[in-house]
Amino acid sequence: MDTFDLLVIGGGPGGYLCAERAAQGGMKVCLFEGRHMGGTCLNEGCIPTKTLLNSAKLYRHAKDSAAFGVTAENVTFDQTKVIERKGKVVKSLVTGVEKTMKALGITVITENARIAGRGEGGFQVTAGGETYTGKRLVIASGAESVIPPIPGVKEGLESGFAVTSREILDRKELPKELVVVGGGVVGLELACYYATVGAKVTVIEMLPKIAGNTDPEICKIITDTYKKSMTVKTSCKVLELTKDSVVFEEKGERKEIKCDLVLLSVGRKPHTQDLGLETLGIEMDRAAIVTDRHLCTNVAGVYAIGDCNGKSLLAHTAYREAEVAVNHMLGKPDEMRYNVIPSVLYVDPEAASVGESKASAEEKGLHVKEVRLSMNFAGRYLAEVDRGRGFLKLVVDEDTHRVLGCHMIGSYVSEFILSAAMMVDTELPIERLQKLVFPHPTVCEVIREALFQI
C-alpha cells in the first residue's frame, strides 16, 4: 500500500478538520474513526445537547411569555419528538463531514486504529487487519467520561438506573426525579434542560461551586433562575448508589435522595489507552499526551490535538489546534494561544467568558480594573428580557490599557463573546476599541458601553 503524507487517528472535530486542512495543503491523508464520524461533539456532545436545550427554551418561552403579551394554553413537551429531531440534526451534520472527506480525496477507514510503531517509510498504524504507513501522524483520539469509583455505580450502569452523557441523549422518557452527580459544564447544561422540561433535578457537586472556573456571580444567577425545579448541593460527596437512590455526605451528615435516574457527569479524561503510544515512546502526563505550542509531541513528526492532550477539552480548541498542527507541517508560522479561547455555558440565560478574571490577573501580578455593567444598558436586552439580571464584567490592564478578559451572562452572549475574544487576542488599546461601531440595537452594545466606562 502507498505511503500517506499524514495519518490521523480520530474523526472528531480536531481530527476531521486536521485531515481537511492537510488535504487542502496538498497532503495525501488517511483518517481513522472506529465509531462515528464527527466524534463526541457531533454525536454525543455539543450538537445534541444544544438541540435539546433549544427545544427546552422554546417550551419555556411558550409557557412564560405573559409579560410580553403572549399567552399559550395547554403547552406540552414531547421528549420523543425532541430526540428524533436531535437524530436528524446529527445525521445531517455527520453526512456533511463525510461528503467533505470524500470531496477532498481523504481515505477514511471506519475501524479502530492502533499505532504499530515506526517502520520503513514512516509511522505504521493497524486497523481492520491492515497496516497503513504515513510520514507524519496526528493523534486526535478525544476523551471519555470518567466513571467514578463509587459503590453501586457499576450495578447502576448495568441496570440503566445510572447513565453518562452519552446514553442520556438517546432517552425518550423524561425522568420524574433526576440526580446529576457532578456540577461541571456538561452536567449543568443537562440538569438545566431536564429542570426546564419538567423533571425535579438535584445536582451534587464535590467542589464549593458549580461550573468550574465560571464567575461565581454568574453561577448564582443560574442557580437562582432554576431554583423552582433544581436544587444544587455543593461541597457534597456521593457515597453510594442504591437501586433507587443516591447516598451522599453533606456537612458531615449522611443523606439520601430517591430518584428514578442518575446522570454521572464528574468530568472527562483523555482517551489514550490501547492506542499503542508506547511503541513510539510518546511522553505522557498521566492520561494526557504532552505537546508544545505547535502541538508537537516529543517524537518528531507526531502531533496530538484535541481532548487527548488534556489542555482544553473544547471542540473549538481542537479546531484551532488542528490548524496550528497542519501549519507547522507546512512550514507556516503559527502557534496556540490558550489564553484567548472563549468558553460558553449553554443554559438559559447563556453565560460566556474569555481571558483573565480580575482575581486570576491579580494573581499574576497585573494591575487591573474591572468594570461591571448590567445588560440593561443595551436597549435590545431590555426590550426582549423581562426582569433580566444579565451583566458583563470587563477586565482591563491599567498599565497597557488593553482588555485582558470578559465574563458575561445574558441573551446571545454565545454569539458575541467572539467580539471580546478578538479584543483580548489583538491586544488593541482601549482608545482604539472605543472607535469600533456596534450595530444598534444589539445586546453586544453593552461591550461598547463598558469600554467607555473604563
Q: Which residues are catalytic?
A: 440
**Residue bearing cell 451534587:** 204
Task: Report whether 134 contacts 128 (CB < 8 A).
Answer: no
* Short-list 77, 36, 344, CA closest to 186: 344
Contact yes or no for 102/185 (Cβ under 8 A): no
Distance in angstroms (rounded) separating the CA atoms of residues 139 and 273:
12
Which is it for strands 230-233 and 200-204: parallel, antiparallel or unpaired? parallel
Is it true that the peptide bond before 148 is cis, omega within 30 degrees of 0? no
Q: What is d(CA 309, CA 314) in angstroms, rounded to the nearest whole number? A: 11
Host H or E run for residue 81: helix 79-103
CA distance 184 to 189: 9
**d(C-alpha 425, C-alpha 72), whole Å:** 45
The x, y and z cell numbers of residue 353, run together, are 467568558
Name the residue among 207, 168, 226, 169 with its Cα closest to residue 51. 169
CA distance linking residue 219 with residue 345, whole number of Å = 10
Number of H helices, E strands in the chain: 14, 24
Query: Letter for the amino acid at 296?
Result: C
DSSP-based three-state secondary structure for 250: strand
Closest CA relative to residue 42, chosen from 9, 81, 13, 84: 13
Residues counted in the chain: 454
φ and ψ of 375, to 5 deg: -65, -15
Q: Which of 257, 263, 213, 204 is nearest to 234 (CA)?
A: 204
- Residue 377 and residue 383 in contact, taking contact as beta carbons nearer than 8 Å: no
3 state DSSP class of 304: strand
Over its C-alpha atoms, the chain yields an Rg (Å, rounded) of 23
Torsion angle defined by CA atoms of residues 351, 220, 213 and 379, in that order, rounded to the nearest 10 degrees: 30
- The residue with cell 508506547 is 278
